[in-house]
Amino acid sequence: MTRIEAENFSNITNFVTTANPDASGGALISLFDPVTNTAFPPGTASTSFNQPTGSYEVIIGIFDEIDGESTVDVRIGSTVFPTITLNNPSSTASGIPEASTFVPLQISSSTFIRNGDLIEVKGTTDGDEFIRFDYMEFNLTNELPVAVDDTATTTEDTTVKINVLDNDSDTEGDSTLTVISDPSNGSAVVDDNGTPDD
């Protein structure tokens, strides 16, 4: 599991960092202007994904309060996720960022992310809900490989070699080959290190 605290995003516009005992790491970013007691304009926070390329579950930690229906848009690399509307607070939620209003929202159960992809979070406030954004969390998943049938022909008693993984794909790049049944005619041998006649 990889967690990126919102206050550690490398580029932050309009959002401000605020200490909060109920936030991961003891801080969050929000669009609340303490000077005017109003909301800042729509804000953006972005950073680069510095984990290995692969498929990840994506979760955003945020506070869903009862005093507005703010919206959040998330983009990772070329993937744009549906707009999140903060309009489903818990039955015990209040209008302030505290434990009762915190929610970990799953943005995706599995999405492909490349090392170096830009993570961008945009927020627009509504009412007195000032988008208290806590963190992004990434949990590596393992998608099933895609196997494609192979064909080859040869004359009787003549060996034929086939790269059976050549036209298959695996998002994580760790595909393996297992023989689960014997051929109906002849014999089949797995060459597991790529060296003929070993």
pLDDT at 170: 72
Task: Please give the single-letter amino acid code of residue 77.
Answer: G
Query: Please, which residues bridge with residue 34 across strands?
Result: none
Q: Please, what is the Cα angle at 186 between 180 and 187, to 5 degrees?
A: 45
pLDDT at 40: 97
Residue of 129, 77, 87, 131 whose CA lies nearest to 108: 77
pLDDT at 166: 78
Residue of 110, 64, 105, 103 whose CA lies nearest to 87: 64
φ, ψ for residue 169, nearest 5 deg: -140, 150
pTM of the model: 0.75
pLDDT at 171: 59
> What does each of the 198 residues of the chain score in pLDDT, given as a tens digit?
999 999 999 999 999 999 999 999 999 999 999 999 999 999 999 999 999 999 999 999 999 999 999 999 999 999 999 999 999 999 999 999 999 999 999 999 999 999 999 999 999 999 999 999 999 999 999 766 777 877 777 777 777 788 777 777 775 566 666 665 667 777 777 776 665 554
pLDDT at 15: 98
Structural domain boundaries of the chain? Answer: 2-141
Residue of 28, 94, 82, 92 whose CA lies nearest to 58: 82
In CATH, which of 2.170.190.11, 2.60.120.260, 3.40.190.10, 3.40.50.2300 is domain 2-141? 2.60.120.260
Neighbours of 156 (CB within 10 A): 5
pLDDT at 172: 57
